[in-house]
Chain A
């Protein structure tokens, strides 16, 4: 089991939260503090959750994803986008009915972006397309050398850290 971590990055007005490995309740209090902080700053317009490297997520952290979804819906009337390519993670998200609450993309981002160009989606097509393009623009340019671009959510607890 890969001990997990939650990292984030900022791209224009978008937060990309990346969940890596096994996401258990031990990570949840830092994650919760992070979420509360970014809600306070109010200086962003969209959130994308990258779960492509997530192996497992437990109920406590699912609850925090729900918290993010509720906030985005209440303040922006928007759905949060989740990218999840792992079968087990998709099954978990399906089993708790998150497919109705989030825009869940089950293909890797490049495919999803190409798909978006070819066929219009059923719901909120313009918005979802924009979000995907923005996320793709950011993630496609990450390579090993840019790994510092993602900061651990624990860094938010330290004062004066850039990115918040």
Chain B
């Protein structure tokens, strides 16, 4: 308990000096300040910023309760503990003090031992609160640093990989996200892209997104070295990632959508591993969901993954949204939410900004779950 200042507002000089002497004797490391009237007390408080205030209820110039209220209304003292000292045996007075922000009361005449014990207790609490606040600030700084790094691992918000434009945007529910996405050229012919949602959210899930990125990078390198072709075979990539996740025993799993675009045949081969809502595909004629029900990655040891191939010749847009969107849509049933998503894709000249607006994401101060968009559009 270092360098604590206590202010005692009390008009009875005898009691004031008794308290001052007691403090000097038993709590010598505390600096004791006194004021004899409410007005002087308020002035002194604003000048010295005491860590704790003791307030006599029977002051000559102002009602003790009014001094208390004025102190508590001042943001300077919103978290300063105030102990009321009263000669009154009226419990209503004591209750009124507590109701107006006092944290404790002492009765006059006061047993010195009790006084010192109570003050010591309150000072200890001030210490604890300070420690917690310091730790919190440190944590916030750490998390912010983590968020910046995770952000750097994501692809650029916009990227052109001919003949498509890729756009991605991620809204984490906390500093760090359990969602992830990427789009990248594999070689002259193939393009890979994925969206993933790690179970849970926050730091532990964010770690797994880093693992995911490394895994895909590694697969890409294997392909480029001619060692294996898993990167262009979605069901194989998913199978391998499934086993890797289980082997790591992280207690985490992820839903994912992984697709490979073959620019020569103008087709897309994809695996849907629990990713929901399903991917939305827009052609000239229609807007529909793809479907697929392979299990998420990292849940079941014996899962088999499948892929489907579709032609991209009519396809203008592919839109992927993570399931965090479902938690912020107001519709009562899942079916209605799914229709809404489809209609939004249908009616909008889609851009990420228009989607953010359509779902009211900028106005939200907090999200129950991470929300991620991945938009693929054919260049005209």
Contacts and interface: CB of A to CB of B under 8 A. Distances in A.
B274 interface: yes
B295 A98 contact: yes
A101 B295 contact: yes
Interface string A51-65: 000000001101100
Interface of A: 25, 59-60, 62-63, 66, 69-70, 73, 87-88, 91-92, 94-101
Given A92-B334, A101-B300, 20 more contacts: A60-B199, A62-B199, A63-B251, A63-B253, A66-B299, A69-B300, A70-B300, A70-B301, A73-B302, A88-B333, A91-B334, A91-B335, A95-B278, A96-B295, A97-B274, A97-B295, A97-B296, A98-B295, A100-B293, A101-B295
Contacts of A59: 197, 199-200, 253, 255
Report whether over half of chain A's contact residues are helix, strand or loop; otherwise say mixed: helix
B11 interface: no
Nearest to A100: B295
Q: Which 5 A-B pairs have the closest CB atoms?
A: A95-B276, A97-B295, A59-B199, A96-B274, A97-B293
Using C-beta atoms within 8 Å of the partner chain, give the interface range for chain B. 20 to 34
Nearest to A62: B199
B108 to A, nearest CB: 47
A60 B333 contact: no
Contacts of B335: 87, 91
A97 B251 CA distance: 19
A88 B331 CA distance: 12
A96 B300 contact: no
B294 interface: yes
Nearest to B335: A87
A5 to B, nearest CB: 20
Given A59-B199, A63-B253, A94 B293 contact: yes
Interface string B283-301: 0000000000111100111
Nearest to B337: A88
Nearest to A32: B251
B296 A60 contact: no
A87 B299 contact: no
Contacts of B334: 87-88, 91-92
A26 to B, nearest CB: 12
A25 B276 CA distance: 19
Nearest to A65: B299
Given A60-B200, A63-B253, A88-B333, A95 B295 contact: no
B302 to A, nearest CB: 8
Given A66-B253, A87-B333, A96 B200 contact: no
